[in-house]
């Protein structure tokens, strides 16, 4: 292999460096749509420490706009949101050809069985109650959902 590279006298140094460098693993992107800044920050700190890239949006409309600009590997979605209710966001994600396959985890303080069932019907992969879910537990759920360890 090195002989092949050496035989390319006009190869750019940047190309040679790229050719020789080990592949870089991309951090999984999580989009958290949450209007409570303190809660969002608490979870974000843990998820970033565990190797995830986390983008945040404080309302449903901004969350959808963010996802359309930068499709995520997984969405963490609150239900009671300004601008667009979480279930409306979930419906729009599922209806979108580009976003429809992204796993969504509902993260809400509302544990009503009817809401949980509705979230599942709309395509949420999991429904977690914030007051029962530590940042480390959320990170473990994300890791299981994505099926792989994040990048370092």
The model's pLDDT over 1-44, given as tens digits with 9 standing for 90+, comes to 445 445 555 555 554 454 555 556 789 999 999 999 999 999 99
Residue 55 counted as domain residue: yes
Residue 112 counted as domain residue: yes
Residue 128 counted as domain residue: yes
Residue 92 counted as domain residue: yes
Look up the domain containing 53 and give its range: 29-146
Residue 86 counted as domain residue: yes
What is the value of pTM for the model shown?
0.81
Give the domain CATH number at 106. 3.40.50.2300
Residue 16 counted as domain residue: no
Q: Pull the structure tokens for residue 68.
A: 């359309």
Residue 70 counted as domain residue: yes
Burial of 30: CB neighbours in 10 Å, binned 0-12, 13-18, 19+? buried
How far apart, in Å, are the Cα atoms of 129 and each of 24, 133, 145? 35, 6, 17
**H/E element, 92:** helix 86-95
pLDDT digits (tens, 9 = 90+) for 97-131: 999 999 999 999 999 999 999 999 999 999 999 99
**Number of domains present in the structure of the chain:** 1
């Amino acid at each position: 292999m090195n002989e092949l590279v050496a035989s390319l006298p006009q190869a750019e140094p940047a190309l040679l460096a790229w050719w020789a460098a080990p592949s870089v693993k991309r951090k999984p992107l999580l989009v958290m749509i949450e209007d409570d800044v303190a809660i969002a920050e608490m979870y974000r700190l843990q998820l970033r420490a565990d190797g995830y890239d986390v983008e945040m949006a404080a309302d449903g409309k901004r969350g959808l706009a963010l996802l359309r600009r930068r499709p995520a590997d997984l969405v963490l979605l609150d239900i009671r949101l300004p601008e667009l209710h979480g279930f409306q966001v979930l419906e729009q994600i599922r209806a979108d050809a580009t976003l429809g396959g992204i796993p969504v985890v509902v993260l809400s303080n509302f544990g009503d069985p009817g809401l949980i069932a509705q979230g599942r019907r709309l395509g949420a992969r999991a429904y977690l109650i914030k007051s029962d879910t530590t940042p480390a537990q959320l990170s473990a759920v994300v890791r299981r959902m994505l099926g792989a360890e994040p990048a370092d």
